[in-house]
């Protein structure tokens, strides 16, 4: 009895919480990324609300002074990109890539687990940076620490922010390295590079771009931290006093934001490509549509890598390089064209029934519409005559409305597509349609509102508010986009409690992840079918149907 009782005593790893905290299973790591992103959504919402209320843009009558207004803008951008966009993409990639290529586990899972915790810790440090040395915070700094040069953070705050960014970049480096190793060495027998699903290939492209950007950013951040403690050893002017180049530190968010933002499109468009092929029942032909899609995704990847180097030149050598930013954004929209052309044959074969089209397909079409509208309106209204003007409000409309809005739609589409596989539950179709309606309405209003507010000055989103009709439209659009993402969070909680259970393959998908249980078992697969194309599950269904006809 005593021996049996001793055997039944729980070990330190028997608790559910400890198992998640020490998890190296790629499925748990993927869920932890996505759940953490959704939990941090409140930071973006709260700061966005503050900015909407602060209609005098950090003046004397609003709730925020100028310094707090700049900090709120930085927090909102940090939360949107590093705390939401990045972990959603990494979470989907870590969760799905081993399943799609027939692997039982993620190669270098311990490194990927460390990468998650580094990302989370670094992001929290970045979000806490406004409190460091802030004279407005309890126990904060001296008022003399506040910069008078328009910097969004105090000297100490910039150290915290850059330190967090360096930690995040190391975490991304470890996670993407693990993903690339799995794609190279973890593929099942028969899963040649030409048979990789489009999403898996797009994750590989994203991993390369993210590693390049992370290395560049990490080196720059480390140099900043050394300079901060060595009396401007590199003449970076980290104290914003005299000498050296301070452009990177005056607006540090954009140095890495543009390349990373473009790179995030690659796996999301790859995921939407999988959804389009499944819901239209028209798979991509390898030497035609698939080649076009991969060409577009490769172009976006190359553009994001070039922008990482381009921003170094713009910051370190000449401000004239900044004139190329509008052209770079339009090149991103142009690179999406081959992807859309690759979808056309599948979309032509789609025959809508009496029920609304599946929401992942709607989100895919909405992403294209938002990017197209942003590019077309910028060309018609803004770029003839001022294409090289980085202060143009039309550039803001294209970047914050078209690019950020399109990224939001694409992320929601991918989450809706793979939600049944990750959770084993179905989302409410009515709630999903409401989210799509809010997201597409919000993105379009944001683009139109910013373009209408043509006062010749490029301003941040909150700074076009007030009595102007364009500012009101833009703020309504931003709020609608936020409500769409918040609605997804609410529907997720509802589905986990009351949602209808689904089988292993509710969409009749083509790729291997739909062969696993929903959610997948710890070992992923009991056995795999022969892999003879990029659509092994569709091939399996065809073989079973042929055997049934012959019998």
Which has more pLDDT, 421 or 71?
421
- Of 122-126, 472-476, 498-502, 525-529, the poorest mean pLDDT is in 472-476
CA distances from 220 to 117, 217, 224 (A): 22, 5, 6
* pLDDT score, position 296: 93
Average per-residue pLDDT for the chain: 79
Q: What is the 3-state composition of the chain as percent helix, strand, coil, each rounded to the nearest 5?
A: 70, 0, 30
User: What's the whole-number mean pLDDT along residues 485-501?
Assistant: 92
Contact present, 521 and 98 (Cβ < 8 Å):
no
3-state secondary structure (DSSP) of residue 501 = strand
- pLDDT tens digits for 357-413? 899 999 999 999 998 888 787 777 655 445 455 555 566 666 667 788 889 999 999
Share of the chain above pLDDT 70, in %: 73
In this model, does residue 460 exceed pLDDT 70? no
Sequence-distant (≥ 6) Cβ neighbours of residue 511 within 8 angstroms:
100, 197, 199, 274, 534, 535, 536, 537
* pLDDT score, position 35: 94
Q: Is 541 left (phi over 0), alpha (psi -120 to 50) or beta?
A: alpha
The tokens describing 228, both together, are: 């901060």
Contact present, 278 and 508 (Cβ < 8 Å):
yes
* pLDDT score, position 22: 85
- For the CA atoms of 74, 442, 433, 27, the dihedral, rounded to the nearest 10 degrees, stands at -20
- Of 74-88, 252-266, 280-294, the poorest mean pLDDT is in 252-266
Share of the chain above pLDDT 90, in %: 39
- pLDDT tens digits for 163-211? 898 999 999 999 999 999 999 999 999 999 999 999 999 999 999 999 9
Which has more pLDDT, 55 or 123?
123
First-to-last CA distance in the chain?
58
Distance CA(252)–CA(249), nearest Å, equals 5
3-state secondary structure (DSSP) of residue 425 = strand
Q: How remote is the C-alpha of 269 from its chain's centroid?
A: 11
Contact present, 333 and 374 (Cβ < 8 Å):
yes
Which has more pLDDT, 192 or 71?
192
**Considering the entire predicted model, what is its pTM?**
0.87
79 secondary structure, DSSP code: I
In this model, does residue 162 exceed pLDDT 50? yes
Place of tokens 């559910």: 16
- For the CA atoms of 218, 223, 227, 228, the dihedral, rounded to the nearest 10 degrees, stands at 0
The tokens describing 193, both together, are: 């590079």
Rounded to the nearest 5°, which phi and psi values hold at 241?
Answer: -110, -65
- pLDDT tens digits for 408-457? 999 999 999 999 999 999 999 999 999 999 999 999 988 888 777 654 44
Which has more pLDDT, 531 or 375?
531
Q: At 249, is the pLDDT very low, low, confident or very high (cuts 50, 70, 90)?
A: very low
- pLDDT tens digits for 231-247? 555 555 444 443 334 44
* pLDDT score, position 411: 95
* pLDDT score, position 3: 43
Distance CA(468)–CA(462), nearest Å, equals 12
Distance CA(239)–CA(127), nearest Å, equals 21
Q: How remote is the C-alpha of 320 from its chain's centroid?
A: 29
* pLDDT score, position 229: 64
């Amino acid at each position: 009895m005593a021996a049996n009782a001793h055997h039944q005593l729980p070990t330190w790893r028997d608790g559910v919480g400890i198992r998640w905290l020490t998890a190296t299973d790629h499925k748990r790591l993927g869920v932890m990324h996505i759940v953490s992103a959704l939990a941090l959504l409140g930071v973006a919402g709260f700061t966005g609300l503050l900015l909407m209320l602060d209609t005098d843009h950090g003046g004397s009558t609003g709730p925020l002074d100028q310094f707090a207004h700049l900090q709120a803008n930085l927090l909102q951008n940090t939360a949107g990109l590093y705390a939401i966009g990045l972990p959603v993409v990494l979470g989907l990639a870590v969760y799905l890539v081993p399943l799609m290529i027939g692997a039982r586990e993620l190669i270098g899972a311990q490194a990927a687990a460390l990468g998650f915790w580094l990302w989370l810790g670094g992001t929290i440090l970045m979000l806490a940076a406004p409190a460091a040395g802030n004279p407005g915070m309890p126990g904060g700094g001296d008022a003399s620490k506040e910069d008078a040069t328009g910097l969004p953070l105090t000297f100490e705050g910039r150290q915290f922010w850059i330190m967090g960014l360096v930690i995040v970049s190391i975490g991304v480096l470890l996670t993407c390295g693990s993903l690339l190793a799995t794609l190279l060495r973890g593929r099942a027998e028969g899963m040649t590079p030409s048979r990789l699903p489009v999403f898996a290939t797009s994750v590989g492209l994203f991993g390369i771009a993210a590693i390049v950007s992370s290395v560049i950013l990490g080196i720059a951040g480390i140099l900043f931290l050394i300079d901060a403690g060595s009396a401007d050893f590199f003449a970076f002017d980290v104290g914003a006093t005299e000498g050296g180049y301070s452009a990177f530190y005056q607006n540090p968010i954009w140095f890495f934001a543009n390349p990373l933002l473009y790179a995030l499109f690659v796996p999301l468009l790859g995921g939407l490509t999988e959804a389009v092929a499944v819901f239209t029942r028209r798979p991509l032909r390898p030497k035609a549509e698939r080649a076009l899609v991969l060409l577009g995704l490769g172009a976006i990847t190359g553009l994001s890598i070039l922008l990482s180097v381009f921003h170094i030149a713009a910051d370190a050598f000449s401000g004239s390089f900044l004139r190329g930013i509008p052209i770079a954004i339009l090149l991103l929209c142009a690179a999406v064209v081959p992807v859309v052309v690759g979808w056309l044959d599948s979309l032509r074969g789609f025959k809508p029934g009496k029920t609304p089209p599946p929401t992942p397909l709607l989100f895919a079409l909405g992403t294209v519409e938002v990017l197209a509208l942003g590019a077309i309106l910028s060309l018609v209204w803004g770029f003839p005559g001022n294409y090289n003007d980085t202060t143009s409000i039309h550039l803001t409309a294209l970047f914050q409305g078209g690019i950020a809005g399109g990224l939001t739609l694409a992320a929601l589409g991918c989450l809706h597509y793979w939600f049944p596989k990750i959770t084993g539950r179905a989302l409410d179709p009515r709630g999903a349609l409401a989210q799509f309606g809010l997201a597409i309405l919000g993105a379009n209003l944001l683009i139109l509102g910013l373009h209408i507010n043509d006062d010749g000055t490029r301003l941040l989103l909150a700074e076009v508010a007030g009595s102007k009709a364009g500012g009101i439209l833009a703020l309504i659009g931003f709020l609608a986009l936020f409500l769409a993402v918040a609605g997804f969070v609410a529907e997720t909680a509802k589905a986990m409690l009351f949602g209808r259970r689904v089988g292993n393959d509710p969409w009749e998908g083509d790729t291997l992840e739909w062969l696993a249980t929903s959610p997948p078992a710890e070992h992923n697969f009991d056995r795999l079918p022969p892999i003879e194309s990029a659509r092994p599950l569709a091939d399996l269904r065809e073989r079973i149907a042929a055997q049934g006809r012959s019998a």
